[in-house]
Amino acid sequence: MLVCKEPDVALTVAILVRNCAADLYRLAPRLRALLDQQGMSYEIIIVDLASTDGADRAVDTTGVRYIKLPTAEYGAAVMRAAAEARGMHLATIEPGSPDLPQLVIALWAARDKGDVIIASRFAPEGRSGSGLLRRVLSRSLNRVFAAGLSIPVHDLSCGLRLYHRRVFQGLDAVFSSYVFLVEVLLKAFARGMDIHEMPYRHVPARREASLRRLAGFALEYCALFWKVWRVRNSIEFPDYDWRAHDSRIPLQRYWQRRRRRIILDFTPAFVSTLDVGCGTSRILADLPHAVGLDRRRDKLAFMRRTNPLLVQGDGLRLPFRDDQFECIVCSQVIEHIPDEGGRLLDELTRVLRPGGILVLGTPDYATWQWPLIEWLYGKVTPGAYADEHVTRYTNATLRAALTARGHEILDQAYICRAELVMRARKIGEKLPSPAC
């Protein structure tokens, strides 16, 4: 896990080099002159990916910090630059293109638009100046990865970027090769960070990587795609529930949309509402006035785009006063928590006002449908949600638990006779009808 230095300059520019000492003689002085004109505090680091052409001698004439790696792996070089950087932002560039100093300034100017700024060749108004075959191969690779990983980025493979230091804080990278460029975007996206593409009209270097080398990169990307895809589609990825609503699997898509429809139909409009264990479901997005509570900060970070009222907390110790909400939604949570005398149900009851509505969803283990679905699910995706169900409710036991806590059951609905959604009212004064 990466630990970054405390920042004491605004910008670190890391020049990643591999056998291009001649370019350093020209690039470093021009870059320093342009950065001096901006009046900012900065530093320049040269990270040498096992060069053999005397790049260290070029450093003596440029007055920048030099780090030599024993490996030519690109991802390892970026991670080392991030560990050594003293800047609040880190720009990564490679020598060759004549417009690199101006590009660094453009990236810096766009720093407030995202946590990662990409100089994108394939964004609208961007352009790749490479040859046709190289351009087709690169664009195709990016399209396949963007579609397969469901990430809204046109140019995943360009290393000309500006990172905010928070992107690297605690980052546990798996890949040290060029695939790192994809991995770091996925992990930033997973943590709710913003990725912005700045159109870039790419001017190719005097000597670009050979087509043979480029084909090698493509094969490496394709060989590792499955590993990256598994990370992206794991239930641990924060937006798993959000994307399940539009899943390519018909049953999963139906299930998510049916659950959303039932819960929204059971939830009264225009009343104070709490969604406990909200995750990244579309249900919370359809209740923009609701407070969303979840234990995972990354899921809450993802939901910032739709809901401003978000709280990180524990359902067994809700950080709210008694009788605070007129409606509480708790879907697919209670089966994941050891019963412990029904502490979660006690907490939901405590913060719900008398007359308030509780919408509760959980699998019904008294039916034959859910145990069969859970068994099949466990075979297809071992280690997924089914293995996390530690408290198994039935229609009868859930009714009894709610009735014992002073709730009146008003309605219920099923999804495929397997998942139960129950609507109950806390006995007490009825809530006044909302004003029109």
The backbone region for 62, taken as left when phi is positive above 0, alpha when psi lies in -120 to 50, beta otherwise, is alpha
72 vs 211: which has the higher pLDDT: 72
Considering the segment(s) 240-426 as one domain, its CATH architecture is 3-Layer(aba) Sandwich (3.40)
- Confidence (pLDDT) at 213: 57
Q: Comparing C-alpha atoms, which of 221, 265, 222, 253 is closest to residue 359?
A: 265
Domain parsing of the chain, residue ranges: 9-232, 240-426
Which value, in Å, is the radius of gyration of the alpha carbons in the chain? 27
Check pLDDT > 60 for residue 304: yes
Confidence of residue 312 (pLDDT cuts 50, 70, 90): very high
248 vs 275: which has the higher pLDDT: 275
Packing angle between helix 100-109 and helix 21-38, nearest 10 degrees? Answer: 40
Distance CA 178, CA 297 (A): 29
- Confidence (pLDDT) at 435: 43
Tokens of 80: 């080392």
Sheet holding 419-426, edge to edge: 310-312, 291-294, 273-276, 325-331, 352-363, 419-426, 407-415
Q: For the residues of 70-108, what is the DSSP string, one character each?
A: S---HHHHHHHHHHH--EEEEEEE-S--TTHHHHHHHHH
Distance CA 244, CA 232 (A): 12
Of 89-98, 101-110, 268-277, 284-293, the least confident: 89-98
Q: CB of 166 within 8 A of CB of 63?
A: no
Check pLDDT > 60 for residue 226: yes
3-state secondary structure of 410: strand
Distance CA 137, CA 121 (A): 13
Whether the CA torsion 388, 378, 412, 281 is positive or negative: it is positive
Tokens of 411: 């309605």
Sheet holding 65-69, edge to edge: 65-69, 42-49, 9-17, 87-93, 161-164, 116-120, 195-199
371 vs 83: which has the higher pLDDT: 83
Name every residue whose Cβ is closer than 8 Å to that of residue 413 and which is 6 or more positions away in sequence. Answer: 262, 266, 420, 421
Considering the segment(s) 9-232 as one domain, its CATH architecture is Alpha-Beta Complex (3.90)
Confidence of residue 434 (pLDDT cuts 50, 70, 90): very low
3-state secondary structure of 65: strand
Please compute, for residue 86, the number of CA atoms within 13 A of its CA located in the half-sphere on the CB side.
Answer: 8
Paired sense of beta strands 310-312 and 273-276, if any: unpaired
Q: For the residues of 264-328, what is the DSSP string, one character each?
A: HHHSPTTS-EEEET-TT-HHHHT-TTSEEEES-HHHHHHGGGT-S-EEE-BTTB-SS-TT-EEEE
12 vs 209: which has the higher pLDDT: 12
Is-same-fold flag (9-232; 240-426)? no
Confidence of residue 264 (pLDDT cuts 50, 70, 90): very high
Average model confidence (pLDDT) for the chain? 84
405 vs 385: which has the higher pLDDT: 405
Confidence of residue 208 (pLDDT cuts 50, 70, 90): low
Average pLDDT, integer, range 218-242: 73
Check pLDDT > 50 for residue 234: yes
Name every residue whose Cβ is closer than 8 Å to that of residue 308 and which is 6 or more positions away in sequence. Answer: none
